[in-house]
Amino acid sequence: MAYELPPLPYDYSALEPHIDTETMHLHHDKHHQTYVTNLNNALAGQDALSAMQPTDLIKNLSKVPDAARTAVRNNGGGHVNHTMFWEIMTPGGAKAPMGELAQAINSTFGSFDDFKKQFGAAAAARFGSGWAWLVVEGGKLAIVSTPNQDNPVMDNPNVTPLLGIDVWEHAYYLKYKNVRADWVNGFFNVVNWDKVAQLYAAAK
C-alpha cells in the first residue's frame, strides 16, 4: 500500500482571487505530491507502517525506525496537513462559523473577530515555515502553531485539529509576496466553516 495524493475537491481556480491558480497547481501538484512521494520512499519495505491511516502514522512516530523517523515526521506531516488544508477551504462558503462551533469560539476567544486576531497573531509569530491551528481537546478550543510540517497530534494524540493555515512561503508568496498578514486575511475568505464544524462535532 502506498500513500496517494488526493485530488483537489474543487477546481484549481476555485479559490481565486484569494488563492491564485498557479499557487494551487504548484502547492497541490508539486509540494503535496513531493511529501507523498518522499513518505512512500521513507517507508519502502515497511508494509505495516505504510498500511496505517496517515493520521495514525504521525501519532505513532515512535514506532517508525530511527533511520526513517525524521523523513516520516516531515513528509507524513506534510501529507496529513495538506490533505486537511484542501478540505477546510471552499469557494463561496459561509463567511463565519455557525451553531455550536460559533458559540464555542465566542466563549473561548471573546468573538469571531477576536478569534481571527489571535489566530492571525499565531500565524505571524511562527518564525520561518510552519502552520497555525485551531484545535480542540476535551471540548476545549485552543490556538497553537507548529514548525515545519509538524502537526499538533505529534506531541499530543488527544488533540484534534479543526483548522490549519499553511504559512510556508510556497503557500502565499506568488500573490502575497512577503506579507503573511495579507495571506491570513485572504485565507479567511475561503475557509470552509461547514467542514470545520463537522470536525468539531466529530471530535466532541
How many residues form the binding site for Mn ion (CB under 5 A)? 3
Q: How far apart are CA 119 and CA 96, in angstroms?
A: 14
CB closer to Mn ion out of 23 and 160: 23
* 150 lines the binding site for Mn ion (CB under 5 A): no
Q: How far apart are CA 179 and CA 76, in angstroms?
A: 28
Name the minimum Å distance from CB 155 to Mn ion: 20
- Segment 171 to 200, residues that bind Mn ion, using CB under 5 A: 171
Binding pattern to Mn ion, positions 102-141, x when CB under 5 A?
----------------------------------------
State the helix-helix crossing angle for 99-109 and 112-125, rounded to 10 degrees: 70
Single out the residue of 64, 77, 161, 166 in contact with Mn ion (rule: CB under 5 A).
Answer: 166
Would you give the distance in Å from CA 81 to the centre of its chain? Answer: 4
Closest by CA to 9, choosing from 74, 88, 92, is 88
Name the minimum Å distance from CB 9 to Mn ion: 16
CB closer to Mn ion out of 20 and 104: 20
CB closer to Mn ion out of 74 and 185: 74
CB closer to Mn ion out of 36 and 171: 171
Q: Assess contact for 39 and 81: CB atoms under 8 A.
A: no
CB closer to Mn ion out of 143 and 171: 171
Q: Which long-range contacts (CB under 8 A, 24 or more apart) does 142-149 make?
A: 142/108, 143/109, 143/115, 143/118, 143/119, 148/74, 148/77, 149/35, 149/73, 149/74, 149/75, 149/77, 149/78, 149/81
Name the minimum Å distance from CB 168 to Mn ion: 5
Name the minimum Å distance from CB 167 to Mn ion: 9
Closest residue by beta carbon to Mn ion = 166
With contacts defined by CB under 5 A, name the span among 5-13, 37-45, 51-59, 169-177 that binds Mn ion: 169-177
Footprint of Mn ion on this chain (CB under 5 A)? 166, 168, 171
